[in-house]
Structure 1
Amino acid sequence: MIVFDQSLSTTKHLWVFNKNIIKFHDDGGNTPTFADIVCTEFVDRIYPDPNDGIFTFDFRKHLKALAVQNDLADMVDLDMGAAVADLVHDDTSEVKYDISLDITINFSDADPVTINKNYTFLVGAEQLIDYQRQESPQLGLFMLQVPKERQKTEYFVNYWEGYPFDISIYSITSGNMNILNQSNGMDIDVPIPGGAIINRIAFSDAVSNLTIADYLPLKTGINKLQITRPGYDPGVHLNESPLTVYINRIESDCGVYVKFRNNWGGWSYWLFNKRKSVSLDARGLESIANDFNNIENTISPIKYSGVEESFETLNCIARRVTAQDMRILRQIIESPKVYLFTGEPYSINKSAQPNQWVEIECLNRSLKVEEPGRMFNDVKIDLGLPFRTNATLL
């Protein structure tokens, strides 16, 4: 019989980019030769430790290969409609992987033995310090966003009205999810379809005149939302509580608007100050000798072929950044996927801009806070735009 010396946790979420190691052996006293790990998503063969016969397997390399098949791109269109149900966009298939695998140990002196195990992994990464600070999300309901410091059910996000924006919610149950704005006492029931474990709740899509305020009024400034999953019973679910999400609604302004995939697998948004600088860099200037005539007939002794490639950098500033803002903003330099919004807020005619996002690169490798002791700080971010297409002679 297969016995596990080290199992994966059943009391916390498992993350694709963290190590997920199992160790196992056979307790029958036979001599193991190899073990096959077989599931729909991958197949692997591993060998035992020659000293104690224990097999060690880390899921991470296979899970990473699954997760990056779509380059961690945003595959969800946040288009909003006239019904509350149109706020909900299923993102389960891009963030959650259910793995059912057979583990078979083969022997040199006995028949093979097999055991089946089922695991669920989420596309993201948990940090050691966050884990030690008890910031690991609860099992039944959480938001795919960095929580407030030393909290697991409280979150803070900025919402620039008119720009595309959503919050991603993990819920193990379907049905009506209640969102209560405790700042004004108004609430809505958002229908969560069956099988949709991870849903993005759209606040604005930037291509219609609809926002979440048409269903759930939000005031300018801080709105304290309470989110309760379908079927939640405080008398039964003793280790769970509703989420508290502080939404800071900010009036629309011009600026550089970006979204980036955060550590928890969701999307974070930021509007940088409209006062920015732009720099253009060129590479690969080639030249051709062209000095074949007398001096009186020569205009260009050297022909320059043109710039092989060039790119622009947006030098952006985030103004009045708080410590909580910094917890969100710092993830942009760690994010594997950053997009620049190329549309306009409240742009109703989407046919004029069918694709409003373009992938860019955060060039920062550190974030400098001017005066860490201050309540508010300015943070500088450099964003590299896609390479430009240039005309050349070669």
Structure 2
Amino acid sequence: MITITNDLLPINPAYNDSIIEFEIDEVGTYPSAYIVIDSTDDIFAIYGINNKYFFNFKSIVTSLINKNNFKDSIIPQLYSSSIYDDESLSLILPITIYISGAFISKTYKFKKNVEQLIGYNDKINSSNTINILLPTQNNVDYYLPYFEGYPIDFAIFGLTTGDTYYLKNTSTYNISAPATSSNDKVKRLFLSDGANNEFLTNLIGLSTTVNKCELWVNETFKSNLLIKRNESKCGVYLKWFNDAGSYSYWLFDEISESIKTDTISELSTGFNNLQHLTSTSQITGKKADNAKVLTTKFNEFERSYIQSILSSPFVEMYIYNEPFRQMNQYSFIGVAVNESNTVFNKKNNQYKMNVTITLPQINTQTL
């Protein structure tokens, strides 16, 4: 008989170690164990140590859960729906373990996120398995900045088939139209697609202060979503994949823009008499990069939200620098965050961050 002596949690972060330990009640023999991933039929052989076996799912899970390379494939059309399923943000992994004719089947669930040692025990000891995929300090209050006229969404993890959920605006007492989950996939709820606002049907009237909205699932309170509506203005709008396992958005002010060029190589052309030359050398071409220096201010409550951009594996920039443009599949382009510094001003209790981003390399002509 196979016994799992150290099992995984009901929900596990994909980008942390996920190690199981198991053994078989055979005395004096240490046969090979085989783990079969039922969804792909991949087989992994394991050799026991003192009749104990160990297996880390991290490398398998990160390859299976990230087939889109963190790229967002959902293009919202709010006249159709404001709620979209996103199967790329979680993974259900059924496996079977075989040893000497014995076998045991298990199913594990993973979120497309990473956790830090500090605060993680507080999360796993919480009985709330339904949460919003945004950075949070207390696992109850989640912050969502809404910059008017730019696309924005948030994700809910842990809903199962048949769950009914809605948002309640505690300021206006408006309640969004209840929705019923038809599957176990992560739900993405869009407040705007750039040109149109949804506000989940009945949550209209969001003020420019922090609006406290409550997430209710099956008539049970789950968490607070604190939405801050910012007035529309021009700027550089960035989107990134955050540590919690979904997408974050923020509007920056642009300080400067620069284009850096370098010569690829130089060829000598001075192989003739001077009277026949106009130049003694010619370059083979240039390579050029475009960089922007951005800045923003934020408070202590917003800090965990905005600073998640610094560790993000995927950052994009909205191609429009003005609001109220309909989002499409080409509206975001990938950029690299190269430099950043954050300064805290004690006088007004605000942080100021400067970020340098590099845009895709400029195409140039070459010999």
1:160 aligns with 147
For 2:33 and 2:121, how far apart are their aligned partners in 1? 34
1:136 to 1:356, Cα distance in 2 relative to 1, 3 A: farther
Cα RMSD, aligned residues only = 2.1
Distance 1:385 1:223 in 2: 34
Give 1:9's aligned residue: 9
Could you say what secondary structure the match of 2:342 adopts? Answer: coil
- Deviation string, structure 1 residues 249-304 (Cα, Å, up to 9, x no partner): 0011111101111111111111001x321122223431111123333442211112
Query: Which 5+ residue runs of structure 1 have no aligned equivalent?
Result: 107-111, 234-240
Distance 1:329 1:358 in 2: 19
Cross-structure match for 1:118: 107
Note the C-alpha offset of 1:152.
Answer: 1.1
Q: TM-score, normalised by structure 1?
A: 0.86
Distance, in Å, in 2 between the alignment partners of 1:96 and 1:9 is: 15
Question: How far is the alpha carbon of 1:354 from its aligned partner?
Answer: 5.1
Superposed, 1:85-234 pairs within 5 Å as: 86-91=81-86, 93-106=87-100, 112-132=101-121, 134=123, 138-147=127-136, 149=137, 151-173=138-160, 174-206=162-194, 208-212=195-199, 215-217=202-204, 218-229=206-217, 231-233=218-220
Q: 1:103 to 1:189 in 2, by over 3 A?
A: same
Note if contact 2:344-2:350 (Cα within 8 Å) is conserved in structure 1. no
Which of 295, 307, 310 pairs up with 1:333? 310
Secondary structure in structure 2 of the residue aligned to 1:248: strand
Structure 1: how far apart are the matches of 2:125 and 2:365? 52
**Larger displacement relative to structure 2 (157-166 or 181-190):** 181-190
**Change in 2 beyond 3 A, CA 1:89/1:184:** same
- Assess, with a 3 A threshold, how the Cα gap between structure 1 residues 277 and 296 changes in structure 2: closer, same or farther: same
Whole-Å separation in 2 of the counterparts to 1:284 and 1:44? 50
State the match for 2:295 in structure 1: 317
Question: Counterpart of 1:376?
Answer: 350
Q: Which amino acid aligns with 1:197?
A: K
CA contact (8 A) 2:133 2:157 kept: yes
The structure-2 alpha-carbon separation of the partners of 1:196 and 1:120, relative to structure 1 and needing over 3 Å to count, comes to closer
Give the letter aligned to residue 381 of structure 1.
Answer: V
Partners in 2 of 1:264 and 1:232 — Cα distance? 25
Question: How far did 1:356 drift?
Answer: 0.4
CA deviation profile, 1:338-372 (whole Å, cap 9, x unmatched): 11111342125x6xx651011111113x5432547
Q: 1:29 to 1:258 in 2, by over 3 A?
A: same
Name 1:342's counterpart in structure 2.
319
2:20 — aligned with what?
Answer: 22
What does residue range 239-278 of structure 1 map to in structure 2 within 5 Å? 241-273=221-253, 275-278=254-257
Report the Cα offset of residue 154 of structure 1: 1.0
**Secondary structure of the corresponding residue to residue 285 of structure 2:** strand
**2:176 aligned counterpart, secondary structure:** strand
**Alpha-carbon distance in structure 1 between the residues aligned to 2:24 and 2:302:** 51
CA contact (8 A) 1:138 1:153 kept: no
Partner in structure 2 of residue 44 of structure 1: 44
* Poorly superposed stretches of 4+, deviation over 3 Å: 132-140, 173-176, 208-211, 370-374
How much has 1:134 moved relative to structure 2? 4.5
Deviations 1:197-244 (A, max 9, x none): 3111100001x3333276421122211101111x244xxxxxxx4211
Partners of 1:222 and 1:138 lie apart in 2 by 27
Read off the aligned partner of 1:258 and give its amino acid letter.
L
Q: Deviation string for 1:85-135 (max 9, x for gaps)?
A: x110111x20111111110113xxxxx211111111111111111214548
* Match status 1:32 vs 2:7: no
The question of whether the paired residues in 2 share the 8 Å contact of 1:136 and 1:152 is answered with no
